[in-house]
Amino acid sequence: MKFYNVLPLIKQEFKTNIKYILFAFLLLTAIFSVALLTISLSISMPNMIYKRANEVFSKEEIRLNLSNIKYAYLNKIFEKNVYNVHIKYDAENIIMRGAILSTDSGKLAANKVGRVAFFQDNNYILESNLEKEFILEGEKWSFKDNAKNSKGNYCIWLNQRTSRELDIKIGDKILFSSEKIKKPFTFYVKGIFSDDVVSSDFLLPFECGEEMLKTTEYNTRCSGALTLKYFDEYLQIKRELENLGMYVYPIKQLEELLFSKSIIQGSLFAISLLLLLAGMGIMCNILQMIVQSRIKLIGVLRAMGMSINSISLLYISIFEVVVIFSVLSGSIIGYLFNNYSSNLLTTLFPEDISGCLYEVKSILMALILLNLLMFIPWRVIINKIDKLNVVQIVNSEN
Amino acid sequence: MIKADSLTKIYYSGNNSYTALKDVSFSIKKGEFLSIVGRSGSGKSTLLNIIGTLDKPTSGSVIVNNKRLDCLTKKQLDQYRNKEIGFVFQSFHLEPSYSVYKNVEMPLLIANVPPKERKEKILDALLKVDMLGKEKNCASQLSGGEKQRVCIARALVNSPSIILADEPCGNLDSVNGRVVMELLKKLAQEGKTIVLVTHNMEDAKMTDRIITLKDGQVISDEIL
């Protein structure tokens, strides 16, 4: 039987069963509005908590304090999604111990005691400092630039004091060797920075520093800190670092916040799911009630050759209409309530709660979920019709 | 056209069993107006339900238009009931909230008949049962005789070759009963095969042939 031929029957059955349909509509609207409100809140409340967390924990402050970092683990730390890494280690002393710098002009700086800073791609603080025109001569540091020039020499930025001492100009080559570094490194001077920018004499690309350190037997422990890019990754990164054998000093306030977020989100989501399941149970029962009340007609339709699937389609279609409309009206009510509750929450916590995007998401989610759940009532109705004793129905008295 | 071969129907209920039909065989020609008579519980309705594929025999088979009904799939059985058979029930089984038109339209909707052709067929069927002009009336507003006539219109609207009538006059007074029987006779004369189940011998005598059942067995097969 074609669907368009079921339509006149749907229309007729809609009229006949209007009291059940109205009852189902009101009941489901109520359930969906509460369910959607909770789904919506389960999404918007953690968002509000995030916003609040962003206020409380600024990017620089969400810092994981580490201790006992082995140099061998540094690479793994740098792979993390972090804004910045502050590692206190004596690499400078090791690299600079017995260092000899020689320039093209023949000037030498032996046993130079200085400091070196390694650039990292996401060195947030350094980047912002250099953007403030601390570069006095030469090129500004660009993280996207190649760390080496065309001849394969690493770039170097010197502070003004060192460049004056050694009379170094932009474009000069510097040869660097020290006690701990087996192979000397040739640098290409790309820029000169102000002495105020960092407490370092040299700024080197990170991979250069890494290569230098690899040539040493440096494997001692040091302490450091990570500045997180996304604070909600805190627990995961902390766990990963602890797996590497590092001790991470906990940020209690952040941990509590993340815990309360997961509790609120989880419980609200569970409530909404339970409500949707209850909705599905009610749908099954109302469908059974309709089938029961129309049992004679169904029996006669079967006797006339209407297939079980077509009869199921007839009643499921009616119900689909009811479900769609009740989801939509429930969503509107849920949305209005959510707006009200959001306003209330905004008053209590003066952070802005996001717009309707979350509600749209929840409506879509509910519609998809409900249509998946409709599979169960569909099976219920098919089984019920299949088990009907048509003989008994058609032979029964009115 | 219809051939019943050694039909047996046994109903089981727990450890008990009840034989409704016992080795029933007969054949019905095309256009024959046949009545099956017998007392209550003799198995006549069971026989009708088996021919109409509403029920299945425990053993034996029914062949209709050279097709063995027990070999048909569910879908083919649905199509057989829709296109080959028209049912007339004792209790009419009209949907009271539907109009006469909607009630008669149902088999045509199931058969996917296009709307224009549907309307023509419905009006034609209502004309045959003398119910034209009442198509907009609600089924619940009709008298018993009118209901049965609408039921007959619904049975023949899809132009089936066989009409199975189970006590069609059972709920009617004698005048309306007579009208319905005349109507069935007229349909038989037009070439429909009609199988009538009744316990009223007056009605049975209006048919061409009477099969009498007793305790699930054919005890007589009489051509009038």
Instruction: Count up the domains in chain B and report the number.
Output: 1
Q: Which of A291-305, A360-374, B113-127 has the highest mean pLDDT?
A: B113-127
Q: Are A227 and A82 in contact (CB under 8 A)?
A: yes
Indicate the range of A9-18, A76-85, B168-177 predicted with least confidence: A76-85
Q: What does the pLDDT read at residue A121? A: 46
Contact B78/A306, CB-based, under 8 Å? Answer: yes
All residues of chain B having their beta carbon less than 8 Å from the beta carbon of residue A290 are none
Distance CA A260, CA B51 (A): 70
Q: What does the pLDDT read at residue A197? A: 67
Mutate to test the interface with A, among B106, B164, B167 (most CBs of A within 10 A): B106
pLDDT digits (tens, 9 = 90+) for B43-55: 888 888 999 898 8
Q: What does the pLDDT read at residue A219? A: 52
Q: What does the pLDDT read at residue A354? A: 44
Q: Are B199 and B38 in contact (CB under 8 A)?
A: yes
Domain that holds residue B33: 28-42+73-223
Q: Which of A30, A41, A33 is nearest to A269 (CA)?
A: A41
All residues of chain B having their beta carbon less than 8 Å from the beta carbon of residue A296 are 93
Residue B189: HSE in the Cβ half-sphere, 13 Å Cα cutoff:
7
Contact B91/A16, CB-based, under 8 Å? Answer: no
Query: Which of helix, strand or coil describes residue A357?
Result: helix
All residues of chain B having their beta carbon less than 8 Å from the beta carbon of residue A306 are 78, 82, 110
Q: Are A153 and A210 in contact (CB under 8 A)?
A: no
pTM of the predicted model, to two decimals?
0.60
B93 interfacial to chain A (CB closer than 8 Å)? yes
Q: Which residues pair with A101 in a beta bridge?
A: A109, A176
Query: Which of helix, strand or coil describes residue B89?
Result: coil
All residues of chain B having their beta carbon less than 8 Å from the beta carbon of residue A297 are 95
Query: Which of helix, strand or coil describes residue B162?
Result: strand
Q: Which H or E run includes A322?
A: helix A308-348
Q: What percent of chain B has pLDDT over 90?
A: 22
> Three-state SS across A127-156?
HHHHHCCCEEEECCCCCCCCCECCCCCEEE
B75 vs A299, A307, A395: nearest CB: A307
What residue of A is the nearest CA neighbor of B168? A395
Q: Which of B106, B197, B110, B119 is nearest to B154 (CA)?
A: B106
pLDDT digits (tens, 9 = 90+) for A140-197: 766 556 678 788 888 888 888 888 888 888 888 888 887 767 778 888 888 888 887 6
Kind of pairing between the strands at B162-166 and B193-198: parallel
A307 interfacial to chain B (CB closer than 8 Å)? yes
Residue A360 has pLDDT above 60, yes or no: no
Average pLDDT over residues A342-359: 51
Distance CA A144, CA A140 (A): 11
Q: Which of A245, A182, A187, A176 is nearest to A214 (CA)?
A: A182
Contact A303/B98, CB-based, under 8 Å? Answer: no
Q: What does the pLDDT read at residue B58? A: 92
Report which DSSP code applies to B178: H
Query: A366 or A89, which is more confident?
Result: A366
A395 interfacial to chain B (CB closer than 8 Å)? yes
Residue B156: HSE in the Cβ half-sphere, 13 Å Cα cutoff:
24
Q: Are A363 and A327 in contact (CB under 8 A)?
A: yes
Q: Are B154 and A303 in contact (CB under 8 A)?
A: no
Residue A324 has pLDDT above 80, yes or no: yes
Q: What does the pLDDT read at residue B103? A: 92
Average pLDDT over residues A320-325: 83
Q: Which of A110, A54, A75, A2 is nearest to A231 (CA)?
A: A54
- Distance from the A316 Cα atom to the nearest Cα atom in chain B, whole angstroms: 17
A18 interfacial to chain B (CB closer than 8 Å)? no
Q: Are B101 and B136 in contact (CB under 8 A)?
A: yes
Q: Are A206 and A187 in contact (CB under 8 A)?
A: no
Q: What does the pLDDT read at residue A98? A: 67
CATH of the domain at B131: 3.40.50.300
Indicate the range of A13-22, A59-68, A211-220, A329-338 predicted with least confidence: A211-220
Query: A279 or A213, which is more confident?
Result: A279
A5 interfacial to chain B (CB closer than 8 Å)? yes
User: Torsion angle of alpha carbons B134, B135, B136, B137, nearest 10°?
Assistant: 50
Q: Which of A84, A92, A113, A80 is nearest to A209 (CA)?
A: A92
B45 interfacial to chain A (CB closer than 8 Å)? yes
- Residue B80 inside a domain? The answer is yes
Q: Which of A283-292, A372-381, B25-34 has the highest mean pLDDT?
A: B25-34
Q: What does the pLDDT read at residue A122? A: 47
Tokens found for residue B26: 């007969």
All residues of chain B having their beta carbon less than 8 Å from the beta carbon of residue A391 are 49, 54-55
Residue A125 has pLDDT above 60, yes or no: no
Residue A363 has pLDDT above 70, yes or no: no
Q: Which of B35, B41, B2 is nearest to B21 (CA)?
A: B41
Per the prediction, chain B carries an average pLDDT of 88
- Distance from the A15 Cα atom to the nearest Cα atom in chain B, whole angstroms: 9
Query: Which of helix, strand or coil describes residue A100?
Result: strand
pLDDT digits (tens, 9 = 90+) for A326-336: 878 887 877 77
Q: Which residues pair with B7 in a beta bridge?
A: B24
Q: Which H or E run includes A22?
A: helix A18-56
Residue B122 has pLDDT above 90, yes or no: yes
Residue A383 has pLDDT above 90, yes or no: no
Q: What does the pLDDT read at residue A309? A: 87
* Residue A249: band (very low, low, confident or very high) from pLDDT cuts 50, 70, 90: confident
Distance CA B178, CA A9 (A): 33
Catalogue the E-assigned strands of chain B.
Answer: 2-13, 16-28, 33-38, 59-64, 67-68, 85-88, 162-166, 193-198, 209-214, 217-223
- Residue B57 inside a domain? The answer is no
* Residue A207: band (very low, low, confident or very high) from pLDDT cuts 50, 70, 90: confident
Contact A16/B97, CB-based, under 8 Å? Answer: yes
Average pLDDT over residues B197-203: 86
Q: What does the pLDDT read at residue A118? A: 59
* Residue A112: band (very low, low, confident or very high) from pLDDT cuts 50, 70, 90: low
At residue A205, what is the residue type?
P
All residues of chain A having their beta carbon less than 8 Å from the beta carbon of residue B82 are 304-306
B102 interfacial to chain A (CB closer than 8 Å)? yes
Average pLDDT over residues B152-156: 89
Contact A394/B105, CB-based, under 8 Å? Answer: no
pLDDT digits (tens, 9 = 90+) for A53-99: 666 665 556 777 777 676 656 667 766 666 666 665 555 556 666 67
Contact A300/B95, CB-based, under 8 Å? Answer: yes
* Residue A355: band (very low, low, confident or very high) from pLDDT cuts 50, 70, 90: very low
B109 vs A9, A390, A398: nearest CB: A9
Average pLDDT over residues B1-30: 88
All residues of chain B having their beta carbon less than 8 Å from the beta carbon of residue A308 are 74
pLDDT digits (tens, 9 = 90+) for A273-314: 787 777 777 777 777 777 888 888 888 898 888 988 888 888
Per the prediction, chain A carries an average pLDDT of 72
Residue A136 has pLDDT above 60, yes or no: yes
What are all long-range contacts of A380-383, with beta carbons under 8 Å and residues at least 24 apart?
Answer: A380/A284, A380/A287, A380/A288, A381/A287, A381/A288, A381/A291, A381/A312, A381/A315, A381/A316, A382/A308, A382/A309, A382/A312
- Residue B21 inside a domain? The answer is no
Query: A128 or A289, which is more confident?
Result: A289
The domain spans of chain A are 3-56+256-395, 63-250
- Distance from the B93 Cα atom to the nearest Cα atom in chain A, whole angstroms: 7
All residues of chain A having their beta carbon less than 8 Å from the beta carbon of residue B111 are 305
* Residue A242: band (very low, low, confident or very high) from pLDDT cuts 50, 70, 90: confident
Q: What does the pLDDT read at residue A385? A: 73
Residue B176 has pLDDT above 50, yes or no: yes
